[in-house]
Amino acid sequence: MARGLLKLMPPLQRPLIMHIWTVLDPVLKRYFIGVLVVVAYAAAAAYVGLGLVLGIPHAVLALLTGVVEMIPVIGPGAAAVMDWWRSTAPQASGPSSLMRSMPPLCAFPSISCSDR
């Protein structure tokens, strides 16, 4: 894929672009590995904190917390609000209890709600 993109560049710029890419490639790899480590740590911490400490047995919420952590700046705050919201909601039974207790996601234009 990189070679195909390189062919789209002007021939005179290709050596410069290859040099930039060889410098940038290891940095980008380390960055994305770091992001995955943060996601795994946040999901594990949320699973332990919510499941073992607070007694909320929802692994889906822990995974969602990890995924939300990837969003720069607002991700950690959004994950904290989401976990707080679930921990203060009354306990309900059934597989859809998590979605009933979460804040409505219909405020986001990309998510459609069928029951509204």
DSSP calls for 24-77? HHHHHHHHHHHHHHHHHHHHHHHHIIIIIIS----HHHHHHHHHHTTSTTTHHH
pLDDT band for position 109 (cuts 50, 70, 90): very low
Q: Is residue 1 part of a domain?
A: no
Q: Is residue 41 part of a domain?
A: yes
Q: Is residue 97 part of a domain?
A: no
Q: Is residue 98 part of a domain?
A: no
What pLDDT, on a 0 to 100 scale, did the predictor assign at position 70? 83
Q: Is residue 22 part of a domain?
A: yes
Higher pLDDT, 49 or 38: 38
What's the domain range around 42? 14-74
Q: Is residue 9 part of a domain?
A: no
Mean per-residue pLDDT, 73-91: 77
Quote the number of domains for the chain: 1
